[in-house]
Amino acid sequence: MKIGIYPGTFDPITHGHTDIITRSLRVFDKVMVAVAPNPTKHPLFNLAERLDMVQLVLKDIGQVEVVTFDGLLVDHVRRSGAHAIIRGLRAISDFEHEFQMALINRKLAKQVETVFLMPSEEYSYLSSTIIKDVANHGGSLTEFLHPEVARRLQARIRSVKP
């Protein structure tokens, strides 16, 4: 069984993330979605909230397991028995950072491969950061997020606004 790990902060999970996950199942028998704490990004939602939203959005997709991890991703990949790290590339601007991460991961664990997938065109511009900005300015989120995730994001934005 070929297992891929799709790591991310998922603050919050978007339709773009879901697109990469479902398309990854064409390549892998199982996809582990690994929700990272990543305090350096200062997430709007805590780890438990993000984990809950990811599980909610992916509950009906077979062959997907949602987990959390701390520490080096390559260590988690090895411990889980996965074969590759899955990363999405939306634009050329993503490539440099993702390329560097793939190279350092290869240096740390030669047996761990990175697989890059481009999102479907309708999601190529999506990022959690942009979606939070749209929400912060009262924009509609229906095209970008699961309805419950949109509700939670709007509620969180209202609760943190001065």
Q: Is 41 a catalytic residue?
A: yes
**Catalytic residue list contains 128:** yes
User: Which member of 15, 17, 87, 152 is catalytic?
Assistant: 17
Count CB neighbours of 161 within 10 A: 7
What residue spans define the domains of the chain?
3-124
pLDDT at 36: 93
Per-residue pLDDT of the chain in tens (162 residues, 90 and over written 9): 999 999 999 999 999 999 999 999 999 999 999 999 977 878 999 999 999 999 999 999 999 999 999 889 999 999 999 999 999 988 777 788 889 999 999 999 999 999 999 999 998 888 899 999 999 999 999 999 999 999 999 999 988 876
Residue that is written with structure tokens 């990811």 in the block:
54
d(CA 25, CA 117): 12
Which residue of the set 2, 41, 79, 151 is catalytic? 41
Cα-Cα-Cα-Cα torsion 122, 124, 126, 128, nearest 10 degrees, comes to: 130
CATH ID of 3-124, from 3.50.50.60, 3.40.50.620, 3.30.70.270, 1.10.645.10: 3.40.50.620
Q: Which of 23, 78, 80, 90 is catalytic?
A: 90
Burial level of 34, CB count in 10 A (0-12/13-18/19+)?
buried
- Given 128, 132, 146, 152, the catalytic residue: 128
Structure tokens at 118: 């481009």
The candidate with the shortest Cα–Cα distance to 153, out of 124, 128, 118, is: 128
Q: Give the residue from 41, 30, 116, 102 showing the smallest Cα distance to 73.
A: 102
What values do phi and psi take at 8, rounded to 5?
180, 170
DSSP summary character for residue 20: H
CA distance linking residue 152 with residue 70, whole number of Å = 25
